[in-house]
Amino acid sequence: MGRMLTLYGWRAYAIPVLAVLTVLLIASSAGCNPFARTASTDVATSGADFGSRVPNPAAGTAPVGAPTGRISGPIPAAYELPAGGRYTPKGLNTWHVVPGTVAKFGKGTQQTFTYKIAVEDGMNMAALGGDQAFAAMVDNTLQNPQSWIHDTQIAFRRVDKGDSDFTISLTSPLTTRDACGYTIAAETSCYNPELSRVVLNEARWVRGAVAFQGDIRAYRQYQINHEVGHAIGYPDHVACPANGALAPIMMQQSFGVGNRDIFALDKSTQYNNNNVCKPNSWPYPGAS
């Protein structure tokens, strides 16, 4: 090195740098970016299959997201409500808005959705930490960069007075059946456009789903993101795309993460295979 410095001076340092730059230039010319992540390793978008979005979902009368099919024979085990804590079977079928606002979050280049948070009257919220604990879970989930705001077209703003695009409501199971329908004997949640209400079933909030193996927090995040997905314009459910993949957020994970679980209810070809996914709570898992 001393001899090189004597002969070439500062150029002794430049030579290895130029050699590295030359290799990178050759790789780039060949269409290969050594720093680029491939699609399979892009954790921000893996599993991000939501179906087609309706940018301005119109109000209607039919609940979105609740099952409309029927099952002949016994209900699959994956549809059953796991054992766990107590919940209120039937509230008063009225709701109160939880006080609190949150400034706009997300870029919202196309649309900013306003939402309220509400709890059905007559439920024992003390066992769940109170109304504000429920509201904090909703806000924190939607503000997470793995949630819908990773899409720069979308933003949210929480209000507690006046009009809003929809209300995210914790609701007792029997009232949920009134709002979402009950075509199969399993607890579900939904988005009801007529009421502009995201209906989160308290039985599922407390017990979760078989596929989540007792991880109640992860299930609640899924429950929020999935039903809000319907409210912001994703009406369809999607299938597990490949064995071992993360389940898309718009898959009916309350009924399982295997396509055969859903095929018992929906005989469409997308479920007519043996793909089994891993449970997933987020529209954009791994985004930051």
Q: What is the pLDDT of residues 47-63, one digit of tens each?
A: 567 877 886 666 666 78
Q: What are phi and psi of 132, to 5 degrees?
A: -70, -30
What CATH number has the domain spanning 46-51+78-271? 3.40.390
Which residue bears the tokens 């804590």? Answer: 85
| Chain position carrying tokens 């007519």 | 272
Residue-wise pLDDT for 213-234, tens only, equals 999 999 999 999 999 999 999 9
Residue 119, helix vs strand vs coil: strand
Q: How many Å from the N-terminal Cα to the C-terminal Cα in the chain?
A: 44
CB 47 within 8 A of CB 245: yes
The 10s digit of each residue's pLDDT in 74-114 is 889 999 999 999 999 999 999 999 999 999 999 999 999 99
Tell me the whole-structure pTM to 2 decimals: 0.83
The pLDDT value recorded for residue 37 is 29
Which region among 61-75, 130-144, 198-212, 231-245 has the lowest average model confidence (pLDDT)? 61-75
**Which helix (H) or strand (E) covers residue 165, if one does?**
none
140 and 158 Cβ atoms separated by less than 8 Å: no
- Please give the radius of gyration of the chain, using alpha carbons only, rounded to the nearest integer: 24
φ/ψ (deg, to 5) at 191: -115, 125
Question: Residue 128 gets which letter from DSSP?
Answer: G
Question: Can you give the residue ranges of every domain in the chain?
Answer: 1-35, 46-51+78-271
The answer to whether 115 and 156 have CB atoms below 8 angstroms apart is yes
Is the pLDDT at 20 greater than 70, yes or no? no
Residue 170 bridge partners (DSSP): 119, 200
pLDDT for position 48 = 65
Question: Do residues 118 and 96 touch, judged by C-beta distance below 8 A?
Answer: yes
Helices 131-143 & 216-231 angle (0-180, nearest 10): 70
At 2, the pLDDT band (50, 70, 90 cuts) reads low
